[in-house]
Amino acid sequence: MNITQILFFLLSAMAIFSAIMVLVSRNPVHSVLWLIAVFFAISGHYILLNAQFLAIVNLIVYAGAIMVLFLFVIMLMNLNKDTEPKKNIWMKLAGVVSGGCFLMVLISLVRQAADMQGKAAQTGVGDIGLIKNLGKALFSDFVVPFEISSVLFLSAMVGAVVIGKKA
Amino acid sequence: MTILAFDWALLIEKLVLIAIIVFGSLGIALYTTFAERKVAAILQDRPGPNRAGPFGLLQPFADGLKLIMKEEIIPNTSNKVLFILGPAMAMTAALMTCAVIPWSSHVELFDRKIELQIADINIGILYVFGVVSMGVYGIMIGGWASNNKFSLMAALRGASQAISYELAMGLALIAVLMLSGSLSLKTIVGEQMAQGNLWNIAYQPLGFLIFFVCALAECNRTPFDLPEAENELNFGYHQEYSSMKLGFYLFAEYVNMIMSSAIMACLYFGGYDVPFLDESTLAPNIAALIGVGALLVKIVIFIFIFMWIRWTIPRFRYDQLMNLGWKTMIPLALANMLITGAVILWRAGG
């Protein structure tokens, strides 16, 4: 075991533990805080793959901006046990079964995908995650989808303004 | 064991550097609190703290001792873990910024070339932004865990203000990045030190102004200190805190001030560059010492300007603050970015 492997297992354990805690926590604010921990662990994985830019953008955008807004909403809604709807046992069971089926499909998909066969993650050597290569790829090979997605963001912003004006 | 095949000298070197920089920043922050009181006193024509030690120089230690000796109160209804996590996160986020600041060039000691920067990562300035966005959690968690309406209101104000002004700050920064073509703070400083290049302030006066105003807002300094507006919110998000936890919140603000001053010095004022001096003609160790001195002088000047503004200007109303952020700062920063890009393209083409 070298340091990269140790870090990989440490980060994976942290990610899975935090993800479970997101689901298990009774308090929604605690759930959000554990979700932020998951983002941190995933950013750590990006760094192991030598994708520092993706790692830090993941932190700024998801852990920084989006989760703060999430936290806003949850703090202001003041959720507690009384307001949360009680689901009966059959609903819970159905949820577990369908979730398990979905997990099985995902796992078999990942295991059998042709792109994944016989490939291992390149730790510390890949360079597509560096800002220079990523920028070149986005603005040359993928320039049309990139620009179209920016139109999507613009329409989302306009939508937010329209809803804000109505209230 | 392959785990132990490690550059131990490098590890020790970095640990010593981290210790020096962290404790150095804390020491400077300690005396910044003293400077704040003295500057306030001078601007208001009164003597200021002058009893503890010569010229009151021991005042920060007296203040620190007072904070530690105070009774520690954790409200009964609050969430204990998060209540303690709040100030801890605020302080950690404030101190983590110092990892990417290039304090000077390198020194040569015991046949080793030691860079006076903890980590020269290729996304240096983005790392700073990531850490700053973590600092928001310190405020939000603390405000929420206090279980007090005023604290929660102040925390919401602080967080939305920080998010709003981060946008304009990022846009102003893009113009600098287009000039230097790198995200590494060391490279940005190196560009400005190169022969024939001016400091970035000469190319980006408007960008600097936007960045400076946003830095004021990010540090929750007057005129943007809405989160701790005493007359509406009693004391702000740290109202329920006492003892050293309160001290951590107040202290984190001063550490943030030092770090944002250092970032501004690096981005716009040549970092550890001394004007009209060719550092390459000096011995490396002397050049490094002069560099540290130059950066510290720039930081002190910025901190003084921060204080000068605090004791001169009244605070904004909340809607004015949001109007300024979204309707003035962001369009200005966008225009600045577009003009900079156009000029760079024009010069590259011609």
Q: Which domains does chain A have, with CATH numbers?
A: 3-129 (1.20.120.1200)
What is the per-residue pLDDT for A97? 94
Beta bridge partners of B112: B109
Percent of chain B with pLDDT over 70: 96
What is the per-residue pLDDT for A81? 56
What is the per-residue pLDDT for B8? 75
Closest approach of chain A CAs to the CA of B133, in angstroms? 5
B217 neighbors B325 (Cβ within 8 angstroms): yes
Residue type, position A159, single letter: G
CB atoms under 10 Å from CB of B268, counted, come to 25
| CA dist., res. B328 & res. B332, Å (int) | 6
Asked if A59 and B134 come within 8 Å (Cβ–Cβ), the reply is yes
Q: What are phi and psi of B41, to 5 degrees?
A: -65, -45
Percent of chain A with pLDDT over 90: 23
Selecting from A29, A57, A64 the residue whose C-beta is nearest the C-beta of B144 gives A29
Q: How confident is the model at residue A83 (pLDDT cuts 50, 70, 90)?
A: low
Residue B212 has pLDDT above 80, yes or no: yes
Asked if A56 and B127 come within 8 Å (Cβ–Cβ), the reply is yes
Tens of pLDDT, residue by residue over B232-257, are: 667 777 778 888 888 888 888 889 88
Q: Which of B154, B150, B200, B149 is nearest to B174 (CA)?
A: B200
Asked if B183 and A131 come within 8 Å (Cβ–Cβ), the reply is yes
Q: End-to-end distance of chain A based on CA atoms, in angstroms?
A: 58
Closest approach of chain A CAs to the CA of B291, in angstroms? 29
| CA dist., res. B324 & res. B318, Å (int) | 10
**Which tokens hold the place of B1?**
């064991």
Tens of pLDDT, residue by residue over A23-47, are: 888 778 888 889 989 999 999 988 8
Mean pLDDT value across residues A135-163: 90
Q: How many CB pairs under 8 A join A and B?
A: 62
B267 neighbors B211 (Cβ within 8 angstroms): yes
List, in sequence order, the alpha helices (H) in chain B: 8-43, 59-69, 80-96, 124-145, 149-180, 185-193, 200-203, 205-218, 230-233, 243-268, 284-310, 318-323, 330-349
| CA dist., res. A98 & res. B247, Å (int) | 51
Q: How confident is the model at residue B332 (pLDDT cuts 50, 70, 90)?
A: very high
What is the per-residue pLDDT for B335? 93
Closest approach of chain B CAs to the CA of A127, in angstroms? 12
B254 neighbors B32 (Cβ within 8 angstroms): yes
What is the per-residue pLDDT for A105? 93
B299 neighbors B125 (Cβ within 8 angstroms): no
* A40 touching B (Cβ < 8 Å): no
Asked if B133 and A71 come within 8 Å (Cβ–Cβ), the reply is no
Q: Exposed, middle or buried by CB within 10 Å (0-12, 13-18, 19+), for B233?
A: buried
Selecting from B2, B123, B133 the residue whose C-beta is nearest the C-beta of A52 gives B123
Closest approach of chain A CAs to the CA of B275, in angstroms? 32
Residue A18 has pLDDT above 90, yes or no: yes
Give chain B positions within 8 Å (CB) of A71: 140, 144, 159
ipTM confidence score: 0.80
The helix/strand/coil state of A26 is: coil
B154 neighbors B228 (Cβ within 8 angstroms): yes
In the block, tokens 């920063």 appear at: B333
Asked if B160 and A60 come within 8 Å (Cβ–Cβ), the reply is no
Selecting from A60, A63, A75 the residue whose C-beta is nearest the C-beta of B144 gives A75
Domain-wise residue ranges, chain B = 8-349
Give chain B positions within 8 Å (CB) of A53: 123, 126
| CA dist., res. B60 & res. A164, Å (int) | 47
Tens of pLDDT, residue by residue over B124-136, are: 888 888 888 888 8
A76: left (phi over 0), alpha (psi -120 to 50) or beta: alpha
Give chain B positions within 8 Å (CB) of A131: 122-123, 183
Give chain A positions within 8 Å (CB) of B166: 65
Cis, bond preceding B227 (omega within 30 deg of 0): no
* A56 touching B (Cβ < 8 Å): yes
Residue type, position A162, single letter: V
Q: How confident is the model at residue A79 (pLDDT cuts 50, 70, 90)?
A: low
Mean pLDDT value across residues A101-122: 81
Closest approach of chain A CAs to the CA of B77, in angstroms? 15
Tens of pLDDT, residue by residue over B257-284, are: 899 999 999 888 888 888 777 777 777 7
What is the per-residue pLDDT for B1? 43
Residue type, position B87, single letter: P
B227 neighbors B316 (Cβ within 8 angstroms): no
